[in-house]
Amino acid sequence: MTDVRVPETDPFESAAPERGGRGPASPATGSFGTGDWLKWAWRQLTSMRIALVLLFLLALGSVPGSILPQEGTDAAGVQQYFTSHPSLAPLLSHLGLFDVFGAPWFASIYLLLFVSLVGCVVPRTFRLAGSTRTLPPQAPRNLARLPASAEYGTALSPAQAAEVAARVLSGHGFRLRRPAPTLPAGSAAPTGPAGSAAPTGPAGSGYWVSAEKGYLREVGNLLFHLALLGVLVAIALGGLFGYKADRLLVQGTSFADTPTDLDEFYPGRLVTAADLPPFSITLNTFDASYITSGAQRGQPNSFDAQISYTASPGGPVRTDRLEVNRPLSVDGAKVYLIGHGYAPEFKVTDARGQVVFDGAQPFISGTTGNFLSQGVLKVTGAEPEQLGFSGVFVPTAVDVNGTLESVFPAADNPVVSLIAYAGNLGMNSGPAQSVYQMDTAGMKQLTAAPQLLQIGQSLKLPDGQGTITFTGYQQWVSLAVTHDPGQLPALICGMAALGGLLLSFVVRRRRVFVRASTGPQGTTVHVGGLARTDASGAFEDEFASLAAELRSAHQQAAQDPSAQDPPAQAQAAQDQAAQDETAQDCTAQDQAARDETAYDQTGQNQAAQDRPAQDQTGQNQTAQSPGQAAPVRHEGE
């Protein structure tokens, strides 16, 4: 994200229009070709501002996805919305608001944000690589002008003083830069503190050490942006290759993780039936225990589903237990226990005496009512007429003023209440039906009032239509199967983003310069330093202790003759022009970006700060204002 700042604050912005260059910054200035428009558009797209706007839009765009029913997860809800809002619904549907996450406009926000991030991070990667290779700038001429500075005399020669300072700074993990060996230092090393061979010339000459530390800040910054990209990729992975499914499983039965054997199946865009991990799960037993006394009576204590499963057909059978928030992990998928209920068991014989149903039928309950559960039993195979039963299962039945209520969620006194129907269930053609609902349009009610049955009791249907026996009950659990290949990458990237952000906030880029020159009272050591974004003021303390350490090192070296060897000037100077980190900065730290401008100017002639920004180039030695003439002359003496 290019930080589109006012050009005046950033003398390194090559595209600033004030320079009359070819770089486009705003379409308002001058003649603007297609290429310029494209460049301008790219610049805008990759700018911090637009990225934030896109991020906001992404958040805003997902709001209707949580307010309105969505096709993928709640198709019935969408149907209902269409019937209840006949004029509004088609409009919303046209805007894709019933399938927000598949809508083209949502995808375009997502992709634009992705491009914006890539457009920011890629150039930044290269700049970081460049910045980690470049050496700190040459020491400014007048270190006293820096935010932190110190000055003291030493008995060492300037060359020796610089050497000792380099050793100290290097010991603190600073990256160093020293004058090039061609400069008048090595051979013409002064013989004593009062030596007259003091260097003259531009800022690049003399005895000095430039030191810089805190490159990790850039690494953190970069890590943050890369990790943000990673999060987007991980979410896309989940959307393309993940799936969600629900399955109601009655005690003693099994299911396999394949679309035909799942109740609800929401595949990702690139998921096919064969991509699902081929596990199967059998529910052996399910136990729910409840608090039996006190105010909390009837509240659940614990749920415990004992299962056996195979990861693939023919594989070894393993056993495990599912509890709430303790899912089963199998072959990349997670199986959660999300609900439970009762499935009363019935045996039905038809008018011809044939057994036409014998098994458990899951009933469902609301959130209240102690698992008073409702359901239907559709006996399609009954002859000559199909039979249907609409029923209520009461786990612990108590007669309260003539109505049956459940007073406890456990099945302590299970009773079913049934209404019987005969006729056509409407299942030989037409759309798929819910197993919890019955269309009684083609049926006639056989029993006027609901008939109560306890376990083992039978109800004889009138006119010899058959018999239904309540044979017992089973418990069922509902399981949620999720497979999100992006989950772990998203977590890792999220943590990396946080770590990167922390690094970039905690670590400061800071520079320390030491310059030793020969004055009337012998060698004077000037120490100066500055930090980028030093809000906490911690750099002042660091600088103070560094300066003190330099001073004591110099004192110690002056007393120790072995340390007074002529220094070797090994560090070669490098082109300063490469040092332009402030340009196109895409961090969220605008204030920091402004500070960086001043920070980077330390590599320039300090005098140039007083001049208009657009005059500042590389190592402009001619730009000194008259006010700075005195120290230069002083240094030349």
Which C-beta is closer to other proteins: that of 192 or that of 315? 315
Shortest distance (Å) from residue 623 CB to other proteins: 13
- Rounded to 10°, the helix 104-133/34-45 angle is 90
Residue 301: Cβ within 10 Å count: 12
Which C-beta is closer to other proteins: that of 485 or that of 519? 485
Pair 227, 497: CB distance under 8 Å: yes
Shortest distance (Å) from residue 310 CB to other proteins: 9
Shortest distance (Å) from residue 450 CB to other proteins: 24
- Rounded to 10°, the helix 216-241/104-133 angle is 150
Query: How far, in Å, are 19, 169, 487 from residue 31 at the CA level?
Result: 15, 52, 49
Shortest distance (Å) from residue 624 CB to other proteins: 17
Which C-beta is closer to other proteins: that of 270 or that of 502? 270
341/403 Cα distance (integer angstroms): 22
Shortest distance (Å) from residue 315 CB to other proteins: 11
Which C-beta is closer to other proteins: that of 182 or that of 617? 617
53/65 Cα distance (integer angstroms): 19
**Which residues are CB-contacts of 440 (< 8 A; sequence separation ≥ 6)?**
388, 390, 421, 423
Q: Is 307 helix (H, G, I), strand (E, B) or coil?
A: strand
Shortest distance (Å) from residue 393 CB to other proteins: 18
Which C-beta is closer to other proteins: that of 46 or that of 70? 46
248/261 Cα distance (integer angstroms): 10
283/251 Cα distance (integer angstroms): 5
Shortest distance (Å) from residue 15 CB to other proteins: 8
Pair 158, 206: CB distance under 8 Å: yes
Shortest distance (Å) from residue 460 CB to other proteins: 19
Which C-beta is closer to other proteins: that of 348 or that of 418? 348
Which C-beta is closer to other proteins: that of 91 or that of 317? 317
Q: Is 503 helix (H, G, I), strand (E, B) or coil?
A: helix
Which C-beta is closer to other proteins: that of 68 or that of 117? 117
Shortest distance (Å) from residue 10 CB to other proteins: 12
Which C-beta is closer to other proteins: that of 323 or that of 358? 358
Pair 586, 2: CB distance under 8 Å: yes
Closest to 581 (Cα-Cα) out of 132, 155, 212: 132
Closest to 25 (Cα-Cα) out of 49, 42, 50, 9: 42
